[in-house]
Amino acid sequence: MRKLLILALVGLAAQLVDGALGMAYGLTSSTLLLFAGVAPAAASASVHLAEIGTTLAAGVAHWRFGNVDWRVVARIAVPGAIGAFTGATFLSSISTEAAAPWMAAILFTLGAYLLVRFSRPLRANRTAGRLRGRFLGPLGLVAGFIDATGGGGWGPVATPALLVSGRMEPRKVIGSVDTAEFMVAGAASVGFLIGLGSEGFLLPTVAALLIGGLVAAPIAAWLVRIVPAQLLGATIGGVIVLTNARTLLRAGELAGPVPFLVYAALGAGWLVALTLAVRALRRTRRARTVVETALAVPVAGAPGGQADAAPPEEPRRLAAAVEG
């Protein structure tokens, strides 16, 4: 009973992080199960079965809070489900250990890019346009496959890739990725059922993780709506960097004080990035206040004795000052 209660708390914490950052539910839960001695396939199967419920709850909550771009969801969910089903079906015969360091290096680079990007004032990417299906489809396919074979990875692959594009708000990236994960988790569970049979699922563990995740889902969806994009992006970047640094250090078989020094340096860099993000957020808010105040000031000498709003070129100039 005590073990199940701990698992429920883990599910709650994992879903809270996943719903707010768009990643880490599978990573956190699978890590605990593997630490407890559960076989990789059984751990991944149990986590994905629990995710059917948690992702459904998270998707509904994100939809209620306006965090979902359904066009993006439609274009990554189906390829993601195909990739997840394929990965789950062949997990027993396909090893991803050799690819783990390469994948970690790519994610580490994306995380570092996010830290740099969100530590500075955000600028709208007006020339980028909408995300295209030829980008979203392959992204969903790869993310789904990695998620099923690694016990987690849908969020760490899909979320930073969408954030780096600069074409979506961070909260909508997270909400869309979490919503699409419902189909990914369902397809992975079907694949594990075919490959392992019903005995491959640890039902008490599934129930505990599910209960904790259902409690946290609406809280996380509310949290991502109110947290500023500047801080959210910097936080996600640090999570990605530190998570994948661990994989890279293990692959390099580094021992002694080296891992501690690396973690200390990365932690210090994350703290600096968060500090710069807070300062950039404050500067942006102050500039935005100046713009709103200027737009509210009437222009003297308007025809008919009426005061008109500021001319169109003035708001454009002020808006450019905010973004710069």
Element (H, E) at 269: helix 258-296
- The answer to whether residue 279 sits within a structural domain is no
CA distance 84 to 8: 25
Contact 206, 50 (CB under 8 A): yes
| pTM value > 0.85 | no
**pLDDT above 60 for 271:** yes
- The answer to whether residue 311 sits within a structural domain is no
- The answer to whether residue 298 sits within a structural domain is no
- The DSSP annotation for 128-196 comes to T-SPPHHHHHHHHHHHHHHHHHHT--HHHHHHHHHHHHT-S-HHHHHHHHHHHHHHHHHHHHHHHHHHH
- The answer to whether residue 295 sits within a structural domain is no
- The answer to whether residue 282 sits within a structural domain is no
Banded pLDDT at 187 (limits 50, 70, 90): very high
Task: Give the structural domain span for 222.
Answer: 2-266
- The answer to whether residue 299 sits within a structural domain is no
Distance (Å) of CA 309 to CA 288, 293, 297, 313, 320: 17, 12, 7, 11, 18
Q: Look at the chain and report how many structural domains it folds into.
A: 1
Stretch 76-97: mean pLDDT, rounded?
80
Question: 8-34, pLDDT tens digit by residue?
Answer: 777 777 777 666 666 667 776 776 676
- The answer to whether residue 80 sits within a structural domain is yes
Average pLDDT, rounded, for the chain: 76
- The answer to whether residue 289 sits within a structural domain is no
